């Protein structure tokens, strides 16, 4: 049986079909307002869509225009710029609003957002009872500056705490084409910091006085500036974003291997006495003894000794006597040689072995080619003493006094100790120079030696080389080891030759002038440059050669050099320094672009009127470097980089670099191209 509700529905349909009293037009008429209203609503919605498209197009143009104007001048009225663009595109009666967004679309980035709103009145939809209007809104944003990339730092303070990099007083740091950066706080209360970029990696930048001149400021903490000081980049170039800074040399394998050699030096050879059997006494005088008399020429003051082997106990020459040995002799003296005043002794091209002391007297002696070996005791060379080619071994203390000379040709030269003073001078040809207990040169005296290995032991006072005022020491090329301090006073001059590595087991203290030949300098102590007083070039009084012409006008100079020290680097006085790192590394020698390295935590003081030109990297990762007074340190038109634990410049100090560095993140440090980001 069919349900009652279904039957009723069929009856209603049948009546409606059979009812002839009404027509279809009645139904249409009743439904027409609904249809018209629906069509009108669709029409009005489409009008809204069209308005939104127009709003969006104009908002995009307005955002780009406002961003470009803001990038050109951050004081521009961006609302006015956006409004002009809207009017120019026929958009009247709209509400145009422009806003500067920081940290959008990413942290550290800035954008201009433009919002355009316009009312759209209802038209055909009013049939359905809609009245008034509705608002259509579109917005757009154009980036003004992205998170700026930055130039590689040429001043980098690695300390992450307070006062990591501080400029105060009248000091300045000038590095227009690279960054001045600190991992920790950077404080400017001096004259100026001028750089491509100024960066505090995780700390804050504080501008108390002076100026910050840069394409960008980057700071992980805050930017602290008094209201009265406007000497800093505009807001669009300030980026409150952390910057990852690191020591680029921290794990450098060449550096680590070189630093491991600090304290090394070539072993110091031991000296010994020659073998000199006992013989007879030889007394050459106006009244010779029986051993000397046979060689007298007539009844004169002259003695001639033919070629043979001579075994002598004591060798004595009286005043005014002339003694000459024929070439090819072998002469041994067991109990000393003494020469009288005004006498002339020529040992010829002979081998000479002496124990018991050696005193040339005021007239000096001549020794030709052959071996000269003098044992322990006092070796006194007065007057002018000449030695030809051949080894010289003196296992005693050699002292040259006022106006006295010792000149030797090619061969190895070994001494227990050397002291030159009061115009005493020594000229040595090519060959090794070994001095077991130090070299001391007093004023107006000179030691000049040729190419060969240099191996200098320490004196009882701890120095290997000590130069007093106006003393000079010129060394040729060759391996170098000093087993004690090198200490030079104002007015002195020292030249180091070229070799892969100069080992100094002690401090290197330069107060006079110094010229460093190419190579590495490994210093187990401090490196100090003091008062200066003499400049390069200088000419030897012994061989007439000019030294240090490359460093003309500077007290301390050197090129293609790298210094590795256990201690610190101190620069003081009025010295002028020019040191250039090598552009390329040399196996076992200098390291490309690295000028100085030390791991010490001792403070480094660069002070006084010292003026320094450094080309290369000074790497002091644990050191506080303090530049004060009239100190000036720069690259002199070249690239100088200072990487230190802390960097402080005060007083009238000026530091600068002409590094033209690459940029991090593959871009420049200026503003990026304006583009839509929303």
Strands (E), 566-610: 569-571, 576-580, 594-598, 604-606
- pLDDT, residue 576, reads 85
- pLDDT, residue 275, reads 97
Indicate if the pLDDT at residue 341 is higher than 90: no
Indicate if the pLDDT at residue 28 is higher than 80: no
pLDDT band at 124 (very low <50, low <70, confident <90, very high): low
- pLDDT, residue 44, reads 55
pLDDT band at 122 (very low <50, low <70, confident <90, very high): low
| Range 483-487 average pLDDT | 98
Nearest to 85 by CA among 46, 114, 118, 127: 114
| Range 117-144 average pLDDT | 73
**Please, which residues bridge with residue 655 across strands?**
173, 633
Domain ranges of the chain: 25-145, 280-640
| Range 461-472 average pLDDT | 96
pLDDT in tens, 291-309: 999 999 999 999 999 999 9
More confident residue, 82 or 559: 559
pLDDT in tens, 58-70: 888 888 888 888 8
| Range 74-93 average pLDDT | 86
- pLDDT, residue 33, reads 53
Q: Which of 32-41, 348-357, 625-634 has the lowest mean pLDDT?
A: 32-41
More confident residue, 677 or 72: 72
Indicate if the pLDDT at residue 120 is higher than 70: yes
Indicate if the pLDDT at residue 22 is higher than 90: no
Cα gap 359→373, rounded to integer Å: 14
pLDDT band at 131 (very low <50, low <70, confident <90, very high): low
pLDDT > 90: percent of the chain:
68
| Range 357-377 average pLDDT | 95
Average confidence score pLDDT of the chain: 88
Indicate if the pLDDT at residue 147 is higher than 70: no
Indicate if the pLDDT at residue 512 is higher than 50: yes
- pLDDT, residue 188, reads 97
- pLDDT, residue 207, reads 97
Indicate if the pLDDT at residue 29 is higher than 60: no
- How far separated are the first and last CA of the chain, in Å rounded? 68
Per the rule left: phi > 0, alpha: psi between -120 and 50, beta: everything else, 553 is left
More confident residue, 86 or 325: 325
Signed CA dihedral, 436, 441, 445, 448: sign only? positive
Q: Which range among 16-30, 47-61, 273-287, 524-538 has the greatest average pLDDT?
A: 273-287
Cα gap 658→196, rounded to integer Å: 11
For residue 1, give every residue at least 6 positions away whose Cβ sits within 8 Å of its Cβ, in sequence order, or none.
Answer: none
pLDDT > 70: percent of the chain:
87
SS3 for 452? coil
Both tokens of 462, joined, read: 């701890």
């Amino acid at each position: 049986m069919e349900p009652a509700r279904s039957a009723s529905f069929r009856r209603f349909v049948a009546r409606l079909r059979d009812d002839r009293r009404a027509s279809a037009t009645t139904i249409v008429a009743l439904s027409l307002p609904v249809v018209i209203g629906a069509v009108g609503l669709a029409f009005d919605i489409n009008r809204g869509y069209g308005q939104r498209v127009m709003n969006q197009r104009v908002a995009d143009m307005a955002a780009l225009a406002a961003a470009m104007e803001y990038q050109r001048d951050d004081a521009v009225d961006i609302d006015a710029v956006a409004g002009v663009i809207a009017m120019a595109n026929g958009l009247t009666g709209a509400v145009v609003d422009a806003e500067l967004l920081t940290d959008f679309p990413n942290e550290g980035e800035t954008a201009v957002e433009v919002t355009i709103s316009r009312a759209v009145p209802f038209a055909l939809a009013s049939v359905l009872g809609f009245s008034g209007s509705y608002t259509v809104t579109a917005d757009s944003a154009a980036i003004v500056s992205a998170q700026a990339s930055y130039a590689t730092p040429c001043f980098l303070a690695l300390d992450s705490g307070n006062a990591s990099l501080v400029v105060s007083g009248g000091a300045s740091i000038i590095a227009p084409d690279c960054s001045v950066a600190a991992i920790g706080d950077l404080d400017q209360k001096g004259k100026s910091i001028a750089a491509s970029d100024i960066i505090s990696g995780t700390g804050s930048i504080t501008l108390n006085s002076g100026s910050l001149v840069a394409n960008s400021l980057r700071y992980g903490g805050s930017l602290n500036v008094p209201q009265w000081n406007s000497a800093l980049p505009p807001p669009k170039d300030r980026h409150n974003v952390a910057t990852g800074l690191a020591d680029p040399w921290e794990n450098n394998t060449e550096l680590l291997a070189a630093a491991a050699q600090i304290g090394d030096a070539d072993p110091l050879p031991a000296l010994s006495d020659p073998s000199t059997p006992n013989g007879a006494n030889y007394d050459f005088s106006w009244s010779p003894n029986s051993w000397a008399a046979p060689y007298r020429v007539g009844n004169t003051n002259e003695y001639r000794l033919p070629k043979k082997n001579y075994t002598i106990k004591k060798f004595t020459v009286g005043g005014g006597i002339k003694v000459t040995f024929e070439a090819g002799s072998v002469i041994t003296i067991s109990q000393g040689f003494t020469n009288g005043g005004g006498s002339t002794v020529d040992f010829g091209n002979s081998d000479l072995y002496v124990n018991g002391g050696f005193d040339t007297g005021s007239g000096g002696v001549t020794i030709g080619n052959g071996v000269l070996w003098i044992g322990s005791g006092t070796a006194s060379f007065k007057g002018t003493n000449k030695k030809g080619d051949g080894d010289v071994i003196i296992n005693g203390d050699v002292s040259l006094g006022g106006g006295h000379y010792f000149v030797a040709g090619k061969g190895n030269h070994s001494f227990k100790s050397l002291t030159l003073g009061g115009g005493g001078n020594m000229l040595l040809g090519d060959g090794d120079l070994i001095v077991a207990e130090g070299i001391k040169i007093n004023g107006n005296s000179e030691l000049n030696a040729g190419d060969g290995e240099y191996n200098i032991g320490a004196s009882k006072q701890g120095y290997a080389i000590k130069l007093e005022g106006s003393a000079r020491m010129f060394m040729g090329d060759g391996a170098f080891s000093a087993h004690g301090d090198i200490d030079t006073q104002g007015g002195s001059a020292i030249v180091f030759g070229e070799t892969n590595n100069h080992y100094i087991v002690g401090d290197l203290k330069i107060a006079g002038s110094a010229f460093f030949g190419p190579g590495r300098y490994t210093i187990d102590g401090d490196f100090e440059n003091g008062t200066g007083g003499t400049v390069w070039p200088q000419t030897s009084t012994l061989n007439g050669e000019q030294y240090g012409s490359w460093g003309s006008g500077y007290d301390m100079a050197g090129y293609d050099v790298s210094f590795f020290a256990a201690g610190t680097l101190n620069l003081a006085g009025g010295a002028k320094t020019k040191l250039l790192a090598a552009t390329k590394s040399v196996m076992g020698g200098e390291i490309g672009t690295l000028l100085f390295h030390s791991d010490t935590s001792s403070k480094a003081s660069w002070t006084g009127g010292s003026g320094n030109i450094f080309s290369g990297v000074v790497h002091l990762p644990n050191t506080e470097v303090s530049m004060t007074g009239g100190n000036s340190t720069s690259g002199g038109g070249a690239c100088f980089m200072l990487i230190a634990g802390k960097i402080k410049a005060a007083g009238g100090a000026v530091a600068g670099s002409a590094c033209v560095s690459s940029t991090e993140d593959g871009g420049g440090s200026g503003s990026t191209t304006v583009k839509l980001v929303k």
